Homo-oligomer: A and B are copies of this chain.
């Protein structure tokens, strides 16, 4: 098996074999990610971190991944205190960082920013989220979490719950899942259901799915519940939000006899109550950990 991408921009650039390559390599990285082994593979290498938007999880996960590989990091995690504040354009800033670092990881609020940068610099670029666009490394760690738990992504029955209309995370995820033989249930209030274009794409890809609007009576026999948060701002009428909110909430009581693992890209608001955290099938913090070996695998593959 081999990995043929130079940049990590969109999950749709991945062939199934690329995904499988990364998931396998991530598993090899786990002892280092868990700090049981010391690694010097990227000794002397630098990852350039360009974060134009706040992030803890994604940024620290990349920094952790690079440092666990023996490398180090230079960059910025907000516009303040940088030339960006002085009005420097993305193009110029990226040119500069590419002179310093062996690869760039970029988060930006503009869709297409990562592709644009990758076409203009001489080092590999990883998209860490470009506004409403893509967040491919999140998708890979989601897939890795499923594979780690069940040994295989094929034949899984997966409920995807919450804001399916605006959530870039779930959009990327379903395109990736469509490469495998899975059954998906989209569970969302009508106004936040999966966009029609995406459903049409899934039809073309022969992906099996169902549309549902209630949570509790649709998750009894699924293997994975993938929760996302529903943002207040999406509802013009606060009463509408309140009504919806309660129906898409999980707690220890309604999770008690579910066999499914429970995933969430985090941060959560209140769609998963704290009493769920101690259950064996609460997988969201483990999922956050999984970002480290997956990003180690990606960094290892693109930084020569």
**Which residues of A are interface residues toward B (Cβ below 8 A)?**
32, 35, 37-39, 43-46, 51, 54-57, 60-61, 63-64, 67-68, 70, 72, 74-78, 80-88, 91-93, 95-97, 99-102, 266-269, 274, 277, 285-286, 288-289, 292
Contacts and interface: CB of A to CB of B under 8 A. Distances in A.
Contacts of A285: 95-96, 99
Contact of A75 (B46, B55, B60): B60
19 contacts: A35-B45, A37-B44, A38-B43, A44-B70, A54-B80, A54-B86, A56-B84, A57-B83, A57-B96, A60-B76, A61-B100, A63-B74, A72-B72, A80-B80, A87-B269, A88-B267, A92-B268, A95-B277, A96-B285
B44 A39 contact: yes
Contact of A288 (B72, B80, B81, B95): B95
Nearest to A48: B60
Nearest to A65: B100
Given A46-B67, A74-B64, A99-B288, A266 B57 contact: no
Contact of A44 (B38, B92, B277): B38
Contacts of A95: 277, 285, 288
Given A39-B44, A43-B38, A56 B78 contact: no
Number of copies: 3
B68 A56 contact: no
Nearest to A49: B60
B56 A91 contact: no
B99 A289 contact: yes
B55 A266 contact: no
Nearest to A85: B54
B292 A100 contact: yes
Contacts of A72: 67, 72
B74 A67 contact: yes
Nearest to A269: B87
A56 to B, nearest CB: 4
Contacts of A75: 60
A54 B93 CA distance: 14
Contact of A292 (B32, B99, B277): B99
A67 B42 CA distance: 13
Contacts of A82: 54-56
A57 B72 CA distance: 18
A81 B107 CA distance: 12
A135 B297 CA distance: 39
A176 to B, nearest CB: 22
Contacts of A76: 56, 60
A81 B100 CA distance: 23
